Amino acid sequence: MSIDEYVNIIWYDENLSEQTKGILRTIHYRLFECTSIESLQETINNNIHDTEKIILVLSGSMDHELILNNIHSEQRIVSIFILVNALSTPFDSYSKISGVFTDYEVLETKMLAQARILNHQVVAFDCDEKLSERSMEELNEKPEGNFYDMHLRFSSDHFVTSNEKEKLLKYCRRRYASNSTQLKHIDDFEKAYESKDALRWYSKDCFLFSSLNKCLRKQSGNVYDCDMVYFAADLSIQIQLEWKKQREKNNPNLDSFHVYRGLNLPEAEITRIQNYCGKSITIKGFLSTTKSFLVAQMFAANIVFDIEIDPKLENIVYADISTYSQIPDEEEILIDFGTTFQ
């Protein structure tokens, strides 16, 4: 079953063994195996959308120069990892190479960390004319409209039902039907998940992180019909609780601060956002940001959002989740679903 993903991993190995294939099945991102330059080019041209990104791994013996000269300029390839038996050939002239490794486990850790951060780039914006006519102060005083009753509704027990949980499990098992690793994570979630652990589960490099915002972005009707609303509601509530806890802890030191988000957006989307300068933009999903401009810049293909947060305002709900993250250096601030910025 093909999974619609933003991040694709291509594993290129001219002598790909069954043992290696077995190891690669544990990777939950969409992964393509290629054994020739022809199959590599065909995979890129026929299977990966222009807006998607590629992490390429060159594994084993090959003419690295030949391969790199053929594909290095491909815009969808954002990072190249090389796995060899012994370090010998320098690759300084190729800017997309993220590292040369002799140990698969070290490479896998670095590769999946990069894939996770790249996946954070996926976000959708709703430029609402009705919202754009009102200032953030007005929104703060009268939190109404499509997304501003979200926290009230998500605070109810309406969604915490076995029916909503079954809908989530069915959706995720369908998405990952051919991925035994993710199916095991889904089984673990079914048995062990509790609402209070939503932030920890979100921070795991597993099916929830990859599926949640994609599911929310594709929801064209009522958001409460989303297949993953069971988890989205829990996550939103936990962000709110963490937000209240952090506000109480930091009071009265509630100075404004900046967070950043590196993105890859089509030119048309950038132009659309520029046209709404000074107006309001609503995020269709949970927005992962970082306190580190360098982290945001590292993975920004064409734009970095600089977001100023005034903690004294109550229209933006967020949580510092770096203590939950598998990559603490991200310094991650997770902004709640449906937040509107000006």
Percent of the chain exceeding pLDDT 70 equals 80
Predicted local distance difference test score (pLDDT) of residue 324: 85
pLDDT of 219 strictly over 90? no
Distance CA 64, CA 107 (A): 17
pLDDT digits (tens, 9 = 90+) for 51-61: 788 999 999 99
Judged against a pLDDT cut of 50, whether residue 136 lies above it is answered with: no
Work out the percent of the chain whose per-residue pLDDT is above 90: 30
Q: Please give the domain boundaries of the chain with CATH numbers for all domains.
A: 7-119 (3.40.50.2300), 125-341 (3.90.176)
- pTM value is 0.73
* Highest-pLDDT range among 127-131, 150-154, 253-257: 253-257
Would you state the pLDDT for residue 58? 96
**Cα-based distances in Å from 223 to 5, 29, 149, 207, 312:** 21, 26, 12, 20, 28
Mean pLDDT (the chain) is 79
Q: What is the pLDDT of residue 52?
A: 82
Task: Return all residues near 176 (Cβ < 8 A) that are at least 6 apart.
Answer: 3, 28, 182, 183, 186, 207
At 208 the pLDDT is 87
